[in-house]
Structure formats: C-alpha cells, structure tokens
Amino acid sequence: MAKTKLVTKRNGRVVPFTQDRITNAIYRAAVAVGGRDKKTAQKLSDQVVAIVDRVYAPDKVPTVEEIQDIVEKVLIENGHAKVAKEYILYRDERNRRRLQAKSTSEQPKDNIPWAKLWSVLDWAVDHDLNTTEGLNKRIRNGEILDIVMESERAYSQDISVMETAISENREEIRLAIFAGPSSSGKTTTTKKIALRLAEKGITFLELNLDNYYFDLELHPKDEFGDYDFETPQALDIELINHHIKDLLDGKEIQMPYYDFKTGKRSQKTTPTRISKSDVILIDSLYGLFPSLTDGVTNASYKVYIEPLLQLKCNNGEFVRWTDIRLMRRMLRDATHRAADYSQTLTHWHYVRSGELRNIMPYISSADYIVNSGMPYELSLYQAKLVGYFKKWSQEYKEDALRQDAYNRAARVYALLDSILPITDDAIIPGDSVLREFIGGLAL
C-alpha cells in the first residue's frame, strides 16, 4: 500500500493517489503492443509505488509528471522497451493535445473534411438553421415539421450518393466500411445502405465486429471500475483482418460469437462464406483503422459518419459534435444497455480520448463523408436532458476527479438552456437516424 496518499495534477489540483491508475496505464500500453498480462502490470506498478514511497517524504506531494517519469524508468529497467515506448508516445501525444487546446492560433488540420463542412454550412444558412436563434425562430413560427423534413432529406441525399457509388462500381467494390465515432449513426446508415442494395438485387454479408472483442477480463479498468473499450486493441484486429481476406478469397471462416452477458467470446462459431458477387458490409468505430484492412487487395469503399452540425451558439462558438454524440449515447445506453445518464457522462473522457487517437486521424482515408446531424435534435434533447446537465454542472464543479464531466456538463447545459424544446417524439420519422438513439427505429 502506498504511503503517498496524494498527487498534484497538471491543473494544480491535489487529488488522491491511486495505484490502480498506474497499473492500468501500464497495462493499456502493453495491450497496445500486443501484451495482455495483468499480473506483470501489477508487479511493475508495485515497483513504481515503492520508488514513490522511498523518494517522496509523507509531507511532499509528487506531481503527475514525476510519477510518469518513474513509470517510464521502471518499464525500461525491467526490459519492457516496447511498452515503455508506447507509454512515452501516448504521454507525449496527450501533452501535445493540451498545448493545442490552449493555443489561440490553431492551424487547419489535414483530417478535417473542409469541403463537406462548407457544404453543410451552406445548407444551414440557406435554411436559417446556422444559429441557435435561427432554430428557435423557426420553431416559434411553427415550422418544426418543415425543419424535420428538410434535415431528414439532406441525410437521405448522402445515403443516395453512397448507394449509387457502390451499385455502379459492383465489379470493383467488394468491401464497404462505415466508420465513425461513438453514436455518429453508423448502424442506421449501414442498415439503410443494406436495404438500398437489396432492392437492387445486390447480396451482402454484414460482418459484425462486436463478435471479435477480447474477453472482458483482458481489458484495463480505472479507479472507478470503468472498462476501457474505446480502443481498437479491444478487438482482435488480427483475426478480423484474416477473416476479411479469407472471405474475399472465397474461403470459409469460423465466425466467432461474443456473449456480452458473460463478457467472453464463446467457443461456439458459425461457418461463414460469401459468393464472388457478395459485398461485405462493416459498421465499426475503427473501420478506418489501417490494421483492419492491411493487405486487403480488393477494392473497398470507406465512409466516415459524423453529426457535422454547423450551428452557432449564443456565445459565437459552434455546437460541438462530440456533445451531440454524448447526448445521443446517453439516451441509447439508458434504453438498450441499462446505463444511467451519469455513467455515460463520466465515461466520455475514455470515448473522446480513444476517438482522437484511433478514429479522427484517419478521416482523410474515407471515400465519402456523411453528415448525420439534425439541427432539430438539439430541441429534442433539451426536453429530455437539460435538467440532468444542470444538476451535473453543479454536482461536479468542485470534484477534482470529475473535471472532465463538469466541463462537458456546464457547456452542454448552457447550450440546451438556450434552445426551445420539442416534446413530441412522434414527429420524428421511424427510419430517422435519431431513432437509433431514442428508440422506435423502423428499418
């Protein structure tokens, strides 16, 4: 047990020192390079704690950076060079992001789909939906049904573009991947494409990557008992890649089955094969992750999906897409995964960190970008969630361990508090992408 009870965070706050954070940071770095030995991670963290206790007197509080330096030293001295390298790279990457967040002269990034954003902004201006005041004005004027129709039509046009691209290039395209961060609308988009292809007589196989998760016990946890699924290493990428190649080569695979109740991959498998004319459809967070399709020589069609809403708040800042997806996931997880809203909020830092590292960098590899954002969905969430965000913006304000949750809650509360609510879910079409999150999807 560590004698040192406290640690100073980068923002100057002093918080409880928790060995589990060290153990899981080491284990997470090991997982990233193919290792899954929790006992070794625990032994290494024991060494780190022993050094901290020896070096720092009870009245001296170490900083996070000082403890991280010790972790690197222990990893290297114990012969875990690859793990140490991954840990160092991850630490350096986090530091760069912090500096970028503080920078007032952020430069354009290659992975931002500028052309698509201009198109979405142009649409928003044309429909007077580029500001929260414009949205409120149209709702006050009784135009909510018009807003719903206009928004759904724009999304449907994206579906048509993708369906045409796949169907008109049938001889080349054998693999279609629909990727995007959590709650971006991948499932609905994939289903809509599947229906369109079926109508044209094109046969396909939907390859469910959820069946390729590693057993739950092999995932790292934090001090709150949260499992970190927000990483491609949570999936057996090597097996997925092997199965994609075999299927495209006309070989039979043994499709795995993951039992989410037990948190284990079952011994039961399903023999699976496709014909030479079939298309493989994949809906995955990590569909653009390079290792997933490494060595796949068949032509593929890659799509990135995100609620790319171009809507300015009263403070002059654009609504953040991550906040839209956070609210979507809250509603979905409460309905389908028995998770309360606060669990989703306090877990979101994992979601965001994982997507910034493993999803966003590969946007530029997509063949097409889909905007799944609907301006009117904010009014829908106002009616359902504003009270919760108000409570969290007060509850987590002074909690040093929940500063990420507080910052998000305060920001979203300010947004929702400025928007007129919609209380009637019946105006939302049964095949809307929003039904994926609020329930009642009819596809």
Tens digit of pLDDT for each residue in 144-182? Answer: 999 999 999 999 999 999 999 999 998 889 999 999 999
Closest CA to 386 of 338, 329, 427, 327: 327
Count of other CB atoms within 10 angstroms of residue 340 = 11
Instruction: Show the DSSP H helices in 103-185 as ranges.
Output: 114-126, 132-140, 144-167
Instruction: Give the pLDDT confidence of 434-443 residue by residue, as tens digits.
Output: 999 999 988 7
Instruction: Give the span between the Cα atoms of 255 and 331, in whole angstroms.
Output: 31
Burial 119-136 (b: 16+ CB within 10 A, else e): bbbebbeebbbbbbebbe
Residue 332 has phi, psi (to 5 degrees) of: -70, -45
Determine the pLDDT at residue 102: 46
Asked whether residue 130 carries a pLDDT value surpassing 70, the answer given is yes
Instruction: Give the pLDDT confidence of 156-165 residue by residue, as tens digits.
Output: 999 999 999 9
- CB burial of residue 73 (10 Å; 0-12, 13-18, 19+): middle
- Whether residue 135 contacts residue 378, with contact meaning beta carbons closer than 8 Å, is answered with yes
- Give the chain's radius of gyration (CA, Å): 23
Determine the pLDDT at residue 294: 92
* Global pTM value: 0.80
Asked whether residue 369 carries a pLDDT value surpassing 90, the answer given is yes
Domain 114-438 in CATH 2.40.50.140? The answer is no
Closest CA to 326 of 284, 383, 389, 375: 389
Asked whether residue 104 carries a pLDDT value surpassing 50, the answer given is no
List the chain domain ranges. Answer: 6-102, 114-438
Instruction: Give the span between the Cα atoms of 399 and 345, in whole angstroms.
Output: 14
Q: How many separate helices (H) and strands (E) can be counted in the chain?
A: 14, 11
Residue at token pair 């039509």:
153
Determine the pLDDT at residue 27: 81
- CB burial of residue 2 (10 Å; 0-12, 13-18, 19+): middle
Instruction: Give the pLDDT confidence of 219-263 residue by residue, as tens digits.
Output: 766 555 666 666 788 889 999 999 999 999 999 999 999 998 888
